[in-house]
């Protein structure tokens, strides 16, 4: 009862001023989705299973809060889930997708079936590309993303592609060349992560 009360109350009580951005106004809604995990006492593990040592919120009990926020109208949809639940499996991914709406999510939500469902409902999405996801030219020729971008001479790329080996979902590939300082910082981050996890990153 309390769980349902929290989910319903948040959707009705939390609002923000409507956005007046002409860019966002092109869509009936622009939805940003993200989650946060809250560690709980181990005594609650029967109700809220935790992440053990998988994340910084290691423990036997944890709560994951999934939120979808409409940037255009200030509306919020919220779900309370098990702390160990994967982001890309949350039902909130495909709930009440409005035709023409735009959905912004990080890589934790990347799921080709979900993206195909969003497109099938005549809505739009923006996401980074998951490693090893099949990318294809419109004529069906496979794209090696690292080599393709390495040969690219323009600073900003925007071209049609097909996403997924079996899905072949029509999308736009957008890439922007970053300054050398950003490249250096990102390489340092990769090397530091590799050092901690004791592996050698690929070129």
Range in 27-41, 62-76, 183-197 the model is least confident about: 62-76
The whole-chain average pLDDT of the chain stands at 88
The residue whose two tokens read 């997708």 is 97
pTM: 0.81
Rounded average pLDDT over 4-23: 69
Pairing label, strands 102-105, 30-40: parallel
Dihedral of the alpha carbons of 114, 115, 120, 121, in degrees to the nearest 10 = 80
CA–CA distance, 42 with 59 (Å, rounded to integer): 7
Dihedral of the alpha carbons of 172, 175, 176, 179, in degrees to the nearest 10 = 170
Residue 15: pLDDT over 70: no
- Residue 160 tokens read as 């049609």
User: What pLDDT, on a 0 to 100 scale, did the predictor assign at position 53?
Assistant: 58
User: What pLDDT, on a 0 to 100 scale, did the predictor assign at position 81?
Assistant: 92
Residue 70 DSSP SS3: strand
User: What pLDDT, on a 0 to 100 scale, did the predictor assign at position 20?
Assistant: 59
Residue 57: pLDDT over 90: no
pLDDT band for position 13 (cuts 50, 70, 90): low
User: What pLDDT, on a 0 to 100 scale, did the predictor assign at position 14?
Assistant: 62
- The per-residue pLDDT for range 110-166, each reduced to its tens digit, is 999 999 999 999 999 999 999 889 999 999 999 999 899 989 989 999 999 999 999
Among 120, 117, 93, smallest CA distance to 104 is for 93
User: What pLDDT, on a 0 to 100 scale, did the predictor assign at position 35?
Assistant: 95
- Residue 132 tokens read as 């090893």
Question: In this prediction, what percent of the chain has a pLDDT beyond 70?
Answer: 92
């Amino acid at each position: 009862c309390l769980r349902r009360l929290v989910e319903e109350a948040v959707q009705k009580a939390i609002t923000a001023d409507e956005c007046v951005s002409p860019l966002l106004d092109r869509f009936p809604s622009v939805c940003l989705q993200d989650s946060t995990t809250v560690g709980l006492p181990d005594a609650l593990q029967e109700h809220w299973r935790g992440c053990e040592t998988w994340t910084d919120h290691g423990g036997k009990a944890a709560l994951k809060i999934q939120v979808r926020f409409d940037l255009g109208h200030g509306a919020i949809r919220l779900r309370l889930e098990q702390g160990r639940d994967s982001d890309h499996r949350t039902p909130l991914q495909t709930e009440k997708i409005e035709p023409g709406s735009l959905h912004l999510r990080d890589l934790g939500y990347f799921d080709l079936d979900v993206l195909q469902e969003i497109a099938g409902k005549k809505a739009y999405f923006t996401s980074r590309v998951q490693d090893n996801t099949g990318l294809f030219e419109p004529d069906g020729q496979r794209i090696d993303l690292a080599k393709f971008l390495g040969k690219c001479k323009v600073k900003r790329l925007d071209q049609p592609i097909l996403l997924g080996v079996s899905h072949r979902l029509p999308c736009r590939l957008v890439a922007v060349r970053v300054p050398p300082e950003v490249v250096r910082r990102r390489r340092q981050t990769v090397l530091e992560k590799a050092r901690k996890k004791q592996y050698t990153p690929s070129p």
